[in-house]
A and B are shown apart, each in its own frame.
Chain A
Amino acid sequence: MSSNDTPELDERGRSKVADVDRSLYDFTKSEEGYERYEDGLTPDIVRSISSKKNEPQWMLDMRLKALAEYHRRDMAPNYGPSIEGLDLNNISTYVSPKTKQAKDWDDVPEDIKDTFERLGIPQAERESLAGVGAQYDSEIVYHNMREEVAKYGVVYTTIEDALQDPKWEPVVKQYFGTLIPMTDHKFAALHYAVWSGGSFVYVPKGVRVDYPLQSYFRLNAQGAGQFEHTLIIVEEGADLHFIEGCSAPKYYEANLHAGAVELFVKDGARLRYSTIENWSKNMYNLNTKRARVASDARMEWVSGSFGSHVSYLYPTTILQGDRSSCEFTGITFAGATQDLDTGCKVVLNGKDTTASVETKSISKDGGLNTFRSSIIVGRHADRARATVSCQSLMLDDISRSDTIPAMDVRNATAQVGHEATIGRISDDTVLYLMSRGCSEAEARSMVVNGFANPVSKELPLEYAVEMNNLIKLEMEGAIG
């Protein structure tokens, strides 16, 4: 420890815990030469996005219908964090880097390639992934999958490209927008009007993809929105692990993320969907994710939310088939200026379905965390079982953590359990660790990492390391 460390102590004389180190994400690239559509939303903008993508008529029709829906709808009742700072007339819905989608990183423009290099994406691709998609602002700039995976008929591409392929266009049409309807909420309507980028994944019957596929979403442009759509179909008995990562540099203007993720898990299949989200603190993250799970199939969500100014995020699982199951493991970290409303929703419709939800939240420096869970057991879901556990850790007295569980059980044979705890780092624990030689910061960091451990051990290794770095809490003062 250097001697010029200036102790920063709170009113109780405890040393301050440092903020999450964002320097890794906080760099911006010039937007010069980019195609940027006017702010605000008109049918003309929607038409030009569609024609640029050379879309089939049905997709344009859908966009225009969604736009009308968007204008028709009032803002959703503001039950959670305020989104007053978000003026949609000042958000550019489409910003495209002037580049074609590449299959080789060497064909990606230097500044964009550098961005992804710094985020470690090409390296992860070489070491541990079956395929990578990288989106920069509104468009995918890189997409590639290992040949041996393609050989089994696995498709990993953009929805735009799938729509150009006569074989896949009908499949997209069959599934797109069916799980998350445009009438879901105002931002779903917005999403369908201006969606761009994202991924289309199709895993044929019985195929197990041994390595994960990963999409990384980077929003570089200031005052812009990102509206990617992810559509994944895992056929009967197939197995896939999909990873998404998101980040953006910090601007003073609001940015908006309103993506949609639609996941179809067929009979006996398994899908694991891991997310590490580290948007900058000017981001309004209003994302919608939903999975439909058939008989004997399994859905696993792993979710780490660290960034954004405001988040509304509740991945939903519909356990439609008998004996289907889901597991949701999530962690949310809210620091200064962050108001994160996260959680999950599970609908148990099939018989003998099981759902297990384990979430953690950490709040510091006035950060606000709200955990909402909704468990809905349908009338026919005999012997359905669901457990929800939510643990919150508060690092100071000015932060806030709320838990709002909701349960709607319509079957008498169902078993639903919920437990929630809110705690602090106890002085006894800090003393114990310090008396073994850990500095106060090391002690606190050890406790926080230990708290997050059940989640971080579920993440792919490189993300687990990233998460530990994100939670790295530094010592700024010593107690005399």
Chain B
Amino acid sequence: MAQLLTINGLSAGTEDKPILHNIDLSVGTGETHVLMGPNGAGKSTLGHVIMGDSAYQVTSGAIEFDGEDVTQKGADKRSLAGIFLSYQAPVEVPGVPLYSFLRTICQMRPELKTTARKFRQRVAKISEQLEIDDSFLTRELNVGFSGGEKKKIEMLQLLLLRPKLAILDETDSGLDVDALQIVSRGIEAYRADCDGALLMITHNTRILEKLSVDRTHVMVKGNLVAEGPASLIDDIDANGFGRFEGAVEKDEA
């Protein structure tokens, strides 16, 4: 299958601290990948670097997306090209009504531009799927939303924007059983309707049960130390990250 995302020899970090070391990772069109690793391994950083977060600097290597080198591109350009990052902690933006925000981010994409009426119908349909109450749409973007509500709003944006690649950064963390189910439904809908690729950053294997995972990557201390089929998840579930951590320590020694 054609590669959608190709990361080659990527090292990145903040001004004073290298975080990611020589990362190689590829995601094919429509594939589902899982990125696992202990806390502080750099998984979220990788997600942010793929999105183009300017808080991190790429010191070497390249990120290619949909046949184009996007290493030097801003997050807005990457978003328009079809990358989506669902945040672990979505930001609150006071004074910006959710609905008009959704309308704005859709209208700026030629492929999604539509009439006000059709747009309203699209939003209504997806909101129903995600059990989002209409009253949320008139509220300010993420302001005062609970953790679960914020994640649902991230799913709403995901389904509206129909990206080619969705990076879900611990979208399942901190959710109760019901919310987790709704978010899983959102992810399934994205896979089914948009034929989009997924890069799931997660600790929780439960959300993966319903997804057919193509590849699993394991990150420890900023290094990708293992890659394998879906069964690797069960292995980690049973045995933890211990043996991978050992591998990095040996490398360092």
Q: Spell out A's residues near B (CB within 8 Å).
A: 13, 426-429, 431-440, 442-443, 446-447, 449-454, 478-480
- The CA-CA distance from A326 to B87 in the complex, in Å, is 42
With a cutoff of 8 Å between Cβ atoms, the chain B residues found around residue A452 in the complex are: 95
Closest to A438 in B: B76
29 A-B pairs, CB-CB below 8 angstroms? A427-B55, A431-B51, A431-B54, A432-B87, A432-B93, A433-B93, A434-B52, A434-B75, A435-B51, A435-B52, A435-B75, A435-B76, A435-B79, A435-B85, A436-B79, A437-B76, A437-B108, A437-B109, A439-B74, A443-B76, A446-B96, A446-B104, A449-B95, A449-B96, A450-B95, A450-B140, A450-B141, A451-B95, A478-B76
- With a 10 A CB-CB cut-off, give which of B54, B85, B108, B141 has the most chain A CB atoms: B54
Measured between C-beta atoms, what is the minimum distance from B45 to chain A in Å? 13
B54 touches A13 (CB 8 A): yes
Closest to A449 in B: B95
Measured between C-beta atoms, what is the minimum distance from B168 to chain A in Å? 13
B54 touches A437 (CB 8 A): no
Measured between C-beta atoms, what is the minimum distance from A359 to chain B in Å? 15
B53 touches A431 (CB 8 A): yes
Residue B73, interface by CB 8 Å: yes
Measured between C-beta atoms, what is the minimum distance from A467 to chain B in Å? 13
Name the contact of A440 in the complex, choosing from B51, B76, B104, B105 (C-beta under 8 A). B76
B95 touches A434 (CB 8 A): no
Measured between C-beta atoms, what is the minimum distance from B118 to chain A in Å? 19
- The CA-CA distance from A480 to B72 in the complex, in Å, is 5
Name the contact of B73 in the complex, choosing from A426, A437, A451, A480 (C-beta under 8 A). A480
Measured between C-beta atoms, what is the minimum distance from B101 to chain A in Å? 8
Residue B161, interface by CB 8 Å: yes
A431 touches B75 (CB 8 A): yes
A429 touches B93 (CB 8 A): yes
- Known contacts A431-B55, A436-B161: does B94 contact A450 (CB below 8 Å)? yes
A450 touches B93 (CB 8 A): yes
Q: A431-B53, A434-B75 are in contact. List 8 more A-B contacts (CB 8 A).
A: A434-B52, A435-B51, A436-B157, A437-B105, A438-B108, A439-B74, A446-B93, A452-B95
With a cutoff of 8 Å between Cβ atoms, the chain B residues found around residue A437 in the complex are: 76, 79-80, 105, 108-109, 161
Residue B84, interface by CB 8 Å: yes
- With a 10 A CB-CB cut-off, give which of A13, A427, A435, A452 has the most chain B CB atoms: A435
Which chain B residues in 148-162 approach chain A with CB under 8 Å?
157, 161
Residue B90, interface by CB 8 Å: yes
B95 touches A453 (CB 8 A): yes
- The CA-CA distance from A13 to B74 in the complex, in Å, is 13
Closest to B54 in A: A479
- With a 10 A CB-CB cut-off, give which of A431, A450, A479 has the most chain B CB atoms: A431
B79 touches A434 (CB 8 A): yes
B54 touches A427 (CB 8 A): yes
Closest to A437 in B: B79
Closest to A439 in B: B76
Residue B253, interface by CB 8 Å: no
A432 touches B91 (CB 8 A): yes
Closest to A455 in B: B95
- The CA-CA distance from A431 to B140 in the complex, in Å, is 18
- Known contacts A431-B55, A479-B74: does B93 contact A438 (CB below 8 Å)? no
